[in-house]
Structure 1
Amino acid sequence: MTQVASGRGRRRVPASLAAAVALGLGLTACSTAAPTTPTAAESSAPAVSETTSDPPTGTAAPGPTAPLPTVTADPLTPTKPTPSATTTKPTPTATATDPGTVAGACERTQPAYPVVSPGSKGPAVSALQCFLNDADFGPVAVDGVYGAQTREALRRVEATFEGPAPKPGRVDAGVWVLIISRSMGSETLKQGAKGPEVETLQRALRAAGGTITVDGTFGPETKKVVQRFQDANRIGEDGVVGDETLFLLKSGATIG
């Protein structure tokens, strides 16, 4: 029992009540004590919020990063460039495989097919160069000049002879007939036939010494010249250009 002084004298207070009062006084003293100053480490640490606030309206909350979709664009359509007003077309370069573009078109039909040799010039040489290309002895540029390229093509012609060329490089009547006829096929030609093959036959017969019009039509005149050619070479005079007559033409036979 604890004695408590009062205005009239001392009063006895139970010990339990006194202890409770003392405890309450101690708690009050603790709550009114000055706050403890945080350490440097505590003051530098960022404050951690115990609650998570909602993101602002209109902003999606961050989530796992999704792969970007692959978009395949349509191929671009190439645009055709607009030609410049000053652009000029390049001048085509003539080649030996296109003889008609060099020194004018090939004029294969000649009034006569004279003897030519290295150094010769003129229309007959141009025709010879055309015939060499026709018969695959080229390529030869058609320039009307019997130069080194034409001579090389003639060597290929001479290589087809059974023996050495009597006069190497010289193109006489027999060589003319041989070169002109080599571009012909194996088709039999007779009266009534028409076309390029007949024109080639007529040129070969003219080079062989016959008098004939080159018009691409196998008429009575052509038949007579064929018979004359057959007679000169001692074969049947039927006026039909068959295997035997074609062989003689491609071998360089002449009328005489």
Structure 2
Amino acid sequence: MQSAVAVAVLGVVLGGCSARTPDPISASPSTPAATATDTASPRPTGAEPLPTETAEPLTPTKPTQPAATTAAPNPSATGDPGSVSGDCSRTLPAYPVLSPGDRGRAVRALQCFLNDADFGPVAVDGVYGAQTRAAMKRLEATYEGPAPKPGRVDAGVWVLVISRSMGTTTLKQGSKGPDVTTLQRALRAAGATITVNGVFGAGTKKAVQRFQDANRIGADGIVGDETLFLLKSGATIG
């Protein structure tokens, strides 16, 4: 009887243990938690590469054409009376006769002398055009009578226009400076053979005496009021 009870109790105990403890072999393995990599969209294999766009360069590869420059206007063409720049070579080997339409170095010298004597402003361009003719009209208006040949620049006109810029200082042997240079140019235009160097030497004195003698005044070789008046009036040696 006791043996039977013991066997029954042992069966109950063994049955309870088998109910509480799962068989590790037969138990289903737990499902692991999903990771971030599992939820990401898989990168397709063998797909075409994404197209790459090339931005326009910041600096153009084509060279930029330089801005067009505007040439400075020709003063004589525009009639601008304020433009007097140019080559002012006032000392010439000789001072030739000029007329409207002439061109060259002598015309430039004339234009310079017109500016010096305040008959300008004239553009120093070497062209005896309308602007130079207008300045010559202002010069001719200072004559006591009408111009014998309007617009024509002869020896007398050269002497007059050259001498007009001289001051009133008496010049004599030993004098030096710009007025002596102007005097020598005027005497050369009047017909004297003289060196233009700004120094009143023996050669300049002889030229003055010759000028004075030709115009029937005292030939003392001194450029005073009377000689200056004759020069500024356009007198020549003849």
Which TM-score band applies after superposition, normalised by the shorter structure? 0.5 to 0.7
Q: Distance in 2 between matches of 1:217 and 1:92?
A: 40
Query: Aligned match of 1:187 in 153, 169, 175?
Result: 169
Asked whether the 8 Å contact 1:97–1:133 carries over to 2, the reply is: no
Q: Does 1:202 align with 2:184?
A: yes
Q: Does 1:153 align with 2:135?
A: yes
Moved segments of 4+, more than 2 Å = 90-99
Aligned residue for 1:136, secondary structure, equals coil
| TM superposition score normalised by structure 1 | 0.62
Change (3 A) 1:183 1:230: same
Change (3 A) 1:97 1:204: farther
The runs of 5 or more residues in structure 2 that have no matched partner are 1-69
- The within-5 A match list for 1:94-243 is 96-97=81-82, 99=84, 101-102=85-86, 105-243=87-225
* Cα shift readout 1:54-93 (whole Å, capped 9, x = no counterpart): xxxxxxxxxxxxxxxxxxxxxxxxxxxxxxxxxxxx9988
Larger gyration radius, structure 1 or structure 2: 1
Deviation at 1:98, TM superposition (A): 5.6
* Cα shift readout 1:4-59 (whole Å, capped 9, x = no counterpart): xxxxxxxxxxxxxxxxxxxxxxxxxxxxxxxxxxxxxxxxxxxxxxxxxxxxxxxx
* Cα shift readout 1:219-241 (whole Å, capped 9, x = no counterpart): 00000000000000000010000
Q: What is the match of residue 245 of structure 1?
A: 227
Q: What is the match of residue 60 of structure 2?
A: none
- Give aligned-pair identity as a percent: 76
Q: Distance in 2 between matches of 1:204 and 1:194?
A: 16
* Cα shift readout 1:134-189 (whole Å, capped 9, x = no counterpart): 00000100000000000000000110001100000000000000000000010000
| TM superposition score normalised by structure 2 | 0.66
CA-based RMSD of the aligned residues comes to 1.8
- The within-5 A match list for 1:38-117 is 96-97=81-82, 99=84, 101-102=85-86, 105-117=87-99
- Where relative contact order (Cα < 8 A, 6+ residues apart) is larger, the structure is 2
